Structure 1
């Protein structure tokens, strides 16, 4: 007869049992990412129609107008997914990733190495972290048995979210550090040593980063419940037929010189950018895409190989390409109907000087479900929370920090930025969403306590 200890071992530890409740619910109620997006769009339409003065036809117009606001971003993320995935499956890159993946010798060690890599990568650039962390997890899963892959993807994605809370590339931190920003008359110019790296933010960030890493490492399923990675995306070697006749055209198609010339030009520009803007100042989304294209010129050293590899990765961009416009529609309806302002106004009425950071955080969490863009969200929320915070005598960097944490937290629940990570490793949303929700709840509780206690202590 099995003992209680044996039964508990078969069920996994307490971390796993808690996470499993979230994932079980996700398996039952979370549809594919596209359907999730459509449901959220319809919900936003109804909320704007019911709770604002907008008519049905107004909401239709807002849907259409917002639909195209994310076109440039959709293209950027689409090509980012394709060029990163293409680079990751180059034979030379696979060898490098395998060496990094081979540092850890146990499943828990793999989780720790991947999350440390994710935190470092997120400080460099959020898009780089979003795409490259699941790729590293995929290589680890290929090299080591016993890794629960959905939890690896969720934990890696969390490092990107947390990285934005103390990374210099976060939109709001970068915006308020420059002269002429739209809130300068309210808060002035706030350099990043007062916002990104103020004591309250640094302490809260390290608490969250350490706790999330420990929880992710300790969330270990029993052997019979491990879901391993079984795909072969990063192992797909491109097979090309040799041309029947080496004509001048075919010589150009197979020319290494052409690719190396393009690659060298890319390197020269990168050096110029680092020299004039600095390393971190150069790393915007366009630069990261350009850099990966440059690297691919050397990884696939002929035009034929390069294009064939891109075509092989193109299917990964489908979800990104079609869903981002719908999220644009959601943001458009939320903003143009005025429903976003109603949410923030309602929360702001209960704020005091002591509770304002917490109120800002919770309201930002709610609003981010519908406006998952930090730049777009601050346009809606900033004109309300910043004057209110100033009138209450709050320390304004704390209000901005609380806003950024709220803006990032519910990215674990609504999957806009998770879509590229899932696309790269070909994992359905419902396989990962429950673990993201599990981490969100832990982060939410810690952040609420931190924002209520720390501003009065540091």
Structure 2
């Protein structure tokens, strides 16, 4: 374990560039693959790239708000105290790793956006409690919760095919979540990972390199220091308004009223927009005054730069993959040698590969769904299980795809190479229970 973990950590530290450069290199790779293996020429691939470049603007804004609103809420005094108390459950580095992993998994099962923020923020508080822990591994453990998101309540593929009117309804019909999220395969896989992943991450401590460990004791929140607005007394009408608790309370109550209305009319619909909405208005209320809230916003926005600039490049990559037919060719190749028994497994593998280039669950299902479901119908494979195999493939390679790690890294103040060596180990380990589940059930 120590030798293998150290090997991947050294390789990543030496050869993995910054996440922005990773996106650029991936752009070059997809461009060349499209020119060589599809009917699209060099000019057409450029057209596909530029046309798709802005297709993720709404999603990029959502992810930026995940970071900013999560930062705002986590730096509210009440929440900081709550996380600090929860962190007291860990007294040793091993306990810290297991606690952060478990909390991150549960949070991601509830909602992936919620889990992304909670995993990183809770890891920071645990690092303060146990400063001797390897901070890089602690953040990787917090991010490892994303491994299970597509088996949880915010899973886009099973929720899509359970919704009347989805784009494959004529071919597939609607499949209730009892056959996908609550299937024996999914329950087995989730339970095994909930139990074993904290233990596995704890054993990764054996492979950490003290020379590369980030000193968790040096981490300090930007808002731990009082700002000028918190020290000086407001004197002008404008300053009094900025420091009015009444203003924050009124707008905060309006926000809470909508949250209650949303759940009363839609049930437990915890999508990314409502998560951001909850974080935002709870942050407004808990910071008490607009000035304190805005000071925290200014600090939080600094963490969203990587998301804002990198997501358009991934949208361009997705544009080339889909428009050129490259993603379709990849999927069809796996289908060509699959049987009724092996199709779910090869759907999982192909989804993991395609996820490198189309790192969006909904977007990936739009590309692979028609191919895999048609193959399942032709071979007699279980369509619900095949759909969940694609979902787990999407979640599986998130461990080594910087796209989803960006929010956690931004909050933690680390670079992708700091955690990726550990994430490779988590990827290799998680392949075992997922594969067993696919063949066993």
Does structure 1 retain, via aligned residues, the 8 Å contact 2:234–2:243? no
* Partner residue, 2:252: 263
**TM-superposed deviation, 1:300:** 1.6
* Partner residue, 1:146: 132
* Partner residue, 1:75: 61
* Partner residue, 1:35: 21
* 2:36 alignment partner, one of 25, 40, 50: 50
Alpha-carbon separation, structure 2, partners of 1:303 and 1:50: 56
TM-superposition CA deviations, 1:179-223 (whole Å, max 9, x none): 111111222111101111111221122223323221111222478
Tell me whether 1:109 sits opposite 2:95 in the alignment: yes
Does structure 2 retain, via aligned residues, the 8 Å contact 1:238–1:305? no
Alpha-carbon separation, structure 2, partners of 1:261 and 1:235: 24
Alignment of 1:382-401 (within 5 A): 382-401=369-388
* Partner residue, 1:325: 312
Alpha-carbon separation, structure 1, partners of 2:133 and 2:175: 44
* Partner residue, 1:123: 109
TM, length-normalised to structure 1: 0.92
TM-superposition CA deviations, 1:244-279 (whole Å, max 9, x none): 87222222111110000011111111111222222x
Alpha-carbon separation, structure 1, partners of 2:79 and 2:429: 35
Does structure 2 retain, via aligned residues, the 8 Å contact 1:175–1:181? yes
* Partner residue, 2:266: 277
**TM-superposed deviation, 1:102:** 0.7
Cα RMSD after superposing both structures: 1.7
Alpha-carbon separation, structure 1, partners of 2:406 and 2:243: 34
Alignment of 1:376-415 (within 5 A): 376-415=363-402
* 2:435 alignment partner, one of 435, 448, 458: 448
* 2:189 alignment partner, one of 182, 204, 214: 204
Does structure 2 retain, via aligned residues, the 8 Å contact 1:252–1:258? yes
| Greater per-residue helix proportion | 2
* Partner residue, 2:145: 159
* Partner residue, 1:427: 414
Tell me whether 1:343 sits opposite 2:330 in the alignment: yes
**TM-superposed deviation, 1:91:** 2.6
Task: Describe the SS at the equivalent of 1:219.
Answer: helix
Does structure 2 retain, via aligned residues, the 8 Å contact 1:233–1:425? no
* Partner residue, 1:248: 237
Tell me whether 1:239 sits opposite 2:227 in the alignment: yes
Alpha-carbon separation, structure 2, partners of 1:425 and 1:28: 21
Alpha-carbon separation, structure 1, partners of 2:409 and 2:374: 39
Alignment of 1:78-97 (within 5 A): 78-97=64-83
TM, length-normalised to structure 2: 0.95
Alpha-carbon separation, structure 1, partners of 2:431 and 2:377: 25
**TM-superposed deviation, 1:322:** 0.4
**TM-superposed deviation, 1:235:** 5.1
Tell me whether 1:371 sits opposite 2:358 in the alignment: yes
Task: Describe the SS at the equivalent of 1:193.
Answer: helix
* Partner residue, 1:170: 155
With over 3 angstroms needed to count, the CA separation of the structure-2 counterparts of 1:394 and 1:144, relative to structure 1, is: same
With over 3 angstroms needed to count, the CA separation of the structure-2 counterparts of 1:327 and 1:210, relative to structure 1, is: same
Does structure 2 retain, via aligned residues, the 8 Å contact 1:123–1:168? yes
* Partner residue, 2:7: 21
Alpha-carbon separation, structure 2, partners of 1:27 and 1:213: 24
Does structure 1 retain, via aligned residues, the 8 Å contact 2:105–2:144? no
Alpha-carbon separation, structure 1, partners of 2:20 and 2:221: 21
Does structure 1 retain, via aligned residues, the 8 Å contact 2:146–2:398? no
With over 3 angstroms needed to count, the CA separation of the structure-2 counterparts of 1:205 and 1:244, relative to structure 1, is: closer
Q: Which moves more between the two structures, 104-113 or 22-31?
A: 104-113
Stretches of structure 2 lacking an aligned partner (at least 5 in a row): none
TM-superposition CA deviations, 1:152-183 (whole Å, max 9, x none): 21122111221x23212111111111111111
With over 3 angstroms needed to count, the CA separation of the structure-2 counterparts of 1:365 and 1:303, relative to structure 1, is: same
Tell me whether 1:356 sits opposite 2:343 in the alignment: yes
Q: Which moves more between the two structures, 185-194 or 229-238?
A: 229-238
Aligned length: 437
